[in-house]
Structure 1
Amino acid sequence: MLAISLVFLLLATVSAGKHDQYSGYSVHGIKLRTQSDKAFIEELTQSLDLDVWQVGNPESRDAQLMLSPEDRVAVLDDLDKHGLEHYLHVADVAKVLEAHEKEVNQWKQSRSGRLMPFNDYPRYEEVDAYLEQIAAQYPELVTLVNAGQSFEGRDIKYLKISTTNFTDTSKPVYFMDAMMHAREWVTTPVTLFSIHRLVEDLRDLDRDLLEDIDWIILPMTNPDGYEYSHTDVRLWRRTRSINLEVSTECVGVDANRNFDVNWNTTGVSQNPCSDVYPGTAPFSESETRIVRDIIAENLNRMEIFMNIHSHGNWVLYGFGDYTLPDNVIQLHVLSAAMGAAMDALKLPAAEWYKIGNSAMILYTDSGSAADYGQYVGVPFSLTLELPGYGNGFLVPPQYIEHINFETWEGIAVSARLARSFYRARQ
């Protein structure tokens, strides 16, 4: 009994100190009045490599910045000089992370043996086991593909779901991926729930989605970063690649700045410790090369690439340098329809979805996955940012089921619209 007590004491001690690196960090909300205020905040965050918890919009959505004790006084002074109203949103990030970890653990324990992976924050091994299980149980519909390995050697797998084993060229391909940014835990359950609804729980109203569309679903693009966000640093965003010629202290690359489209031109940092460090070259990361290769292999039929992120209730299309694709009207129509479908089911605590060009309504960036998809010829290449309910990246697990349900409705609407556009071009 004494030994067991000591083990629990040791685990509690480890857990209590796990988030100490964020002790004293705070999150501050900032009220934006104009687009020039928004531009000022974007410039400030890029110059100081600040962690953005929420991108603001003038008079509709406050910006939120996480500040270290070293940066706090200077940043708040800059905000005051600019005449920007600000307030304390989170007093101590470490305490919030500890509370979130406790909440997630309690959620798992209270539903022990009854939780499906798509209603939980499953670890890499659980996601892998679910993909293997679905492929084994439904071989007539599902093909499991091992696309390669992450930097740390984890298999990156995806499912191909098709009634015709991808042989019917009259059917468009819908490709969705998630967990490109490691701390965005709520993204993977959406992809797993999509698999569930297409395969395990196919309903009559959705039969057309399975029969008329081929699906590629990649639930975990960045497994190394995801595991690290569980074991070490909850707010970890990047991959976990090591390049000693660049840095002996910092590892990883922002995977969503590592694609070969306007690479390393805007919305990035040359600091290898930055969360928006784009790497030494496009596709320097094995994880981004896998996404690239999936797109290339299926480009002749790929109608939608949905790059799923969290958080903020956005449906965004390219390009991140303010230029617009030739089919921008169709992109906006499809994005708006998707957003409206999700808004129709939203919880009161959620923001309304905002739709538009990523640079115009969010921020400038380069080397993003969605921009790359659009650039190489995917007609509808979108970034979907899921709800945060005011909790940033730390979405309480009790919201997962609703996010899955409302997002699936948006996915279904986007799939049907894209299918109609695809047929019109045949």
Structure 2
Amino acid sequence: MLLHLVYFSCMFCFFVTAINEDYRGYKVYNIQLETLEQQKNLKILKSDLIDFWTAPNYNYGVVGKVMVPPSHYVWFEEKLQELGVNRDVYIEDVYEYLTKGENRARLPRSVDDEHYFDVNRYHRYDDILAYLRKLHEQSADSLTKVELVEYGVTAQNRPLVYLRISRGTKENNTPEKPIIVIEAATNPRDWVTIPAALNIVENLLKEQRLLEYLEWIVIPVLNPDGYEYTHTNIRLWQKSRSTNSNMGHVCPGVNINRNFDFDWQNFDTSSSPCSHLYAGVEPFSEIESRMIRDIINNNAPRVKLYMSLQNNGGYISVPWYYERAASGMFRQHYLLGLDMVRAINEDYKLDIGSNVFDRISGTSTDYIRSKAVLYTYNFDIVQRGNGVIIPEEDVSAIVNDVWKATKVAAEEMIRINTANYSLFVLPVCSFFNLVLLI
């Protein structure tokens, strides 16, 4: 018995130390831009192996955090010097940092936690699925329907699902309700986006008015394979786990938010399967991006608002991301965005995506805006801790802010739709009343 205990203890220690082993010796640099010229030339710091935890931004005074492998120390520091940015190491060894920091990121669990699902905590995918199934079952005899839709299975055979939440029955003479779509965990290391999405679901079930006038599609985990991999192997993983490329078994995975068929593979993306920015063998090569495409196509033109939840530093950003220009909806985007920012306790910035993050190709938000969905936003959650690993104790405040902003946007969709419906219905009713009088 003692030998068995020692054996399992040793295996546990081996497993723990093996997690994040790939990051041994990696450094993270602070990047503080002091001129607009440095911002314009920031691209010289970019490479397939350089990982921007936080994008630096001169206009907003945001200090960037960039992870660099040992093989690129010299190259990166030479580029810093060329750019005129001071060398400032934030983390000397990412592996050591993650090993010490992961436990601190979680709140202590009680013995009863396995029987209780708290949306303000981090959970494994199987537990999230069980929670979603429970919501579906509980709505069976209710006017409020929580439908769990299974789109298909991922490369590693996990169910790829989303929730469809609605209330009441559609009458023959009533237009179908507008739809709001919420997407989370496209980048699997963005754990905090999942409780943000689930918190939206819980609030919708409490505030029935937003279901009386709207239908909701919520994707709590768009990238389940990648998400599980961040728990078991590499916490900072950014791709799926598919093996579709010619190097798929050596360098698996595709960055889902570079895989959409809009300006594909041009900016802030890579054709190398070993890069965390790999865009795939072709647009929509991945089941995860195809699910988004089909949700939009199958529900057009009812989708009125699309929001992608990400963890990039406290921005609400709008298209375009692929070019330095605003979409034709900029004025409406901006006015609603201002209202969303005002509803949030934290300091969020509102801007065009390419102004915030530089140019990016193949994103879900640009693709969906191109499909005539008028209101599309990236909700880039404010960063706590080191910016990537959000402590669990901060989750509740963060997700409540996301809900407040989402509710503001939903109320505006109701106002717009109600106004448009009235403009259509009132003249028609007046016409028929006139006919009856005659």
Cα gap change, 1:135/1:336 in structure 2, threshold over 3 Å: closer, same or farther?
Answer: same
Q: Does 1:361 align with 2:356?
A: yes
Contact 2:182–2:307 (8 Å) recurs in 1: yes
Contact 2:245–2:281 (8 Å) recurs in 1: no
Please name the residue that 1:155 is paired with: 159
- Name the stretch that deviates more: 36-45 or 109-118: 109-118
Please name the residue that 1:297 is paired with: 298
Instruction: Look at both structures and tell me which one has the larger radius of gyration over its CA atoms.
Output: 2
- Name the stretch that deviates more: 71-80 or 242-251: 242-251
Offset at residue 104 of structure 1 (A): 4.5
For structure 2, the 5+ residue unaligned runs are 422-438
**In structure 2, the residue corresponding to 1:374 is in which secondary structure?**
helix
Cα gap change, 1:337/1:43 in structure 2, threshold over 3 Å: closer, same or farther?
Answer: farther
Please name the residue that 1:51 is paired with: 51
Contact 1:151–1:241 (8 Å) recurs in 2: yes
After superposition, residues 57-76 of structure 1 pair within 5 angstroms as: 57-58=57-58, 60-76=61-77
d(CA) in 1 for partners of 2:284, 2:245: 18
d(CA) in 2 for partners of 1:40, 1:306: 30
Contact 1:303–1:378 (8 Å) recurs in 2: yes
Contact 1:171–1:214 (8 Å) recurs in 2: yes
Offset at residue 422 of structure 1 (A): 2.9
**What TM-score does the superposition give when structure 2 sets the normalisation length?**
0.89
Amino acid aligned to 1:335: G
d(CA) in 2 for partners of 1:405, 1:75: 38
For structure 1, the 5+ residue unaligned runs are 347-351
Cα gap change, 1:362/1:422 in structure 2, threshold over 3 Å: closer, same or farther?
Answer: farther
Please name the residue that 1:340 is paired with: 342
The sequence identity of aligned pairs, in percent, is 29
Please name the residue that 2:241 is paired with: 240
**In structure 2, the residue corresponding to 1:143 is in which secondary structure?**
strand
d(CA) in 1 for partners of 2:365, 2:36: 24
**In structure 2, the residue corresponding to 1:169 is in which secondary structure?**
coil
Please name the residue that 2:84 is paired with: 83
Please name the residue that 1:349 is paired with: none
Render the CA deviation track for 1:19-57: whole Å, top value 9, x for unaligned: 221111111101102232123223321x45410011011
d(CA) in 2 for partners of 1:84, 1:356: 25
For residue 420 of structure 1, the aligned residue among 415, 425, 428 is 415
Contact 1:307–1:382 (8 Å) recurs in 2: yes
Deviating above 6 A after TM superposition, structure 1's stretches of 4 or more consecutive aligned residues are none
**What TM-score does the superposition give when structure 1 sets the normalisation length?**
0.92
Aligned pair count reads 413
Render the CA deviation track for 1:49-88: whole Å, top value 9, x for unaligned: 4100110111611121101112112211321233212312
Please name the residue that 2:404 is paired with: 409
Contact 1:38–1:58 (8 Å) recurs in 2: yes
Please name the residue that 1:263 is paired with: 264
Render the CA deviation track for 1:292-312: whole Å, top value 9, x for unaligned: 111111121111111111131
d(CA) in 1 for partners of 2:170, 2:101: 42
Please name the residue that 1:100 is paired with: 101
After superposition, residues 60-209 of structure 1 pair within 5 angstroms as: 60-104=61-105, 107-108=108-109, 112-113=113-114, 116-139=117-140, 140=142, 141=144, 142-164=146-168, 169=175, 171-199=177-205, 202=206, 206-209=207-210
d(CA) in 1 for partners of 2:303, 2:248: 38
Contact 1:334–1:418 (8 Å) recurs in 2: no
